[in-house]
A = this chain, B = another copy of it.
Amino acid sequence: MLPQLFISELEQIVGAAHVTGDETALLAYGQDGLKKPHPPDVVVLPGTTGEVAAVAELCHSGRVPLYVRGGGTGYSGGAVPLRGGVLLSMERFNRILEIDERNLLVVTEPNVVTGRLQEAVEAVGLFYPPDPASLDESVIGGNIAENAGGPRAFKYGTTRRYVLGLEVVLPNGEVIRTGSKAVKNVVGYDLTRLLVGSEGTLGIITQAVLRLIPKPPAHATLRATFGSVDAAVEAVNELIRARVVPATLELVDGECLAAVTRYLGGAELAPQGTAGLLILEVDGMAQAVVEEAQLVEAACRTAGATEVLRAATEDERRELWRVRRELSPALKTIATMKVNQDVVVPRGRVPELFRLVGELKREFGVAIPCFGHAGDGNIHVNIMVDAADADAVRRAHAAQRRLFEGVVGLEGSISGEHGIGYTKAPFLSLELSREAIALMKRVKRAFDPHDILNPGKIFQD
């Protein structure tokens, strides 16, 4: 419980209407995509950078935990107020401040929903490529804090590539600007990219300058099916040999496909025996798209595709994406608990990752449907069990640890998109050495000497 005096000071900073201790609100603001609430002591809705700074300074002085929340769609607990204290919801920072067509950039407040920002810039012929699955709910600030990816990352990179500059409130209440509106900047340390992906532990983003690119004028969507994941991955290898860089290379495995088929009532969605399904999109100049789509089809056929479909209309495009779109609800029907991982391996080692998953299925007796971004080697590995079955849950966690160990053995990483948060903090040392973790903690102290900002995340105590 926070002292009443502290609450009064918060109310003086942001106004009493923007401070709440209501139980329902605390519960709602206390959770993210994991749906495991840790209610804060109080929720504060600041309206200006100055208010954010004053709240930070107050928490810094009083050694009160301060958690920042954007869209609340994370899967690793990054925004969850694990130790109570103050939950700062950025929802009033919801304006796009400037779309600068001449300089290909947008200046925005952090709580603009990613999909809305994309629509706004596409309306003037520009393009903000990062497309996390959550883009209709997640916000730019959270995307930056987590370095969000998405299907288009293979060609266009993740959020990091698009952040030119930030306005940031430091844990002690100081306000700094990093980077600039220039696309190149080598003045001092790259604090901008250090903040990207720092999971809300180093600073509070109050404004961002994002780089845009011209919107590719044309695109084409294809779907190819294969008798094995290996064949699907070989198609990707063939594509790269043909020097094609698709915008999107989504892979869905046979177990996912079966789940969607059942979920949609049994109608056949792909040829019998499909164990790997690729959804591929190419984009760019109209002529290039025609040429690349032909190369994509040829590469898939060379790798043994059982069927290659190409969308001729926007409706057909939606149909080709259907399996992928229905995946999330379909998986929920398999089992009540999804231990949802986002591991990543060097692209060519995806077949080895799937062999590892096959071993885990057999050894631990759990369903593990997989899908993901084949071009990046970033695969969502979903260990599905009945939440009420304690033994199954234990087996799921054992399988998860083995998965992480295996991924590190394959020269990969235990998280490509979701971050560490608190859920993966126990596994950090599987991937990072003692010296590297100690250095990161020293960096954290350089920003936040009293560990008030998002405590309990990334690092275990």
Interface range on chain A (Cβ under 8 Å from partner): 35 or more
CB of B439 within 8 A of CB of A104, answer: no
CB of A197 within 8 A of CB of B186, answer: yes
CB of A178 within 8 A of CB of B344, answer: no
- In the bound assembly, the distance between CA atoms of A365 and B174 in angstroms comes to 42
Q: A157-B161, A447-B439 are in contact. Are A183 and B344 (CB under 8 A)?
A: yes
CB of A184 within 8 A of CB of B125, answer: no
CB of A433 within 8 A of CB of B176, answer: yes
> Given the complex, which residues of B lie within 8 Å of A436, measured CB to CB?
176-178, 188, 191
- In the bound assembly, the distance between CA atoms of A257 and B435 in angstroms comes to 53
The residue from B147, B181, B197, B442 contacting A412, defined by CB atoms under 8 A apart: B181
> Given the complex, which residues of B lie within 8 Å of A443, measured CB to CB?
189, 191, 194, 443, 446
Q: How far is the CB of A243 from chain B (nearest CB, A)?
A: 4
> Given the complex, which residues of B lie within 8 Å of A241, measured CB to CB?
125, 214
Q: A183-B376, A291-B288 are in contact. Are A348 and B103 (CB under 8 A)?
A: yes
- In the bound assembly, the distance between CA atoms of A286 and B418 in angstroms comes to 38
Q: Mark A180-218, 1 if CB is under 8 A from B, else 0.
A: 111111111111011011100010000000000111110
The residue from B287, B428, B440, B458 contacting A290, defined by CB atoms under 8 A apart: B287
Give the interface of A toward B (CB within 8 A): 100, 102-105, 125, 146-147, 149, 153, 157-158, 160-161, 170, 174-178, 180-191, 193-194, 196-198, 202, 213-217, 237, 240-241, 243-245, 284-288, 290-292, 344-349, 376-378, 411-420, 424, 428, 431-433, 435-437, 439-440, 442-447, 458
Q: Could you pull out 28 A-B pairs where Cβ atoms are within 8 angstroms?
A: A105-B346, A157-B161, A176-B436, A181-B411, A182-B412, A183-B347, A184-B377, A184-B416, A185-B344, A186-B197, A186-B413, A186-B415, A186-B416, A188-B420, A189-B194, A189-B202, A189-B440, A190-B197, A190-B198, A191-B436, A194-B194, A194-B443, A286-B291, A287-B288, A287-B291, A288-B291, A439-B446, A446-B446
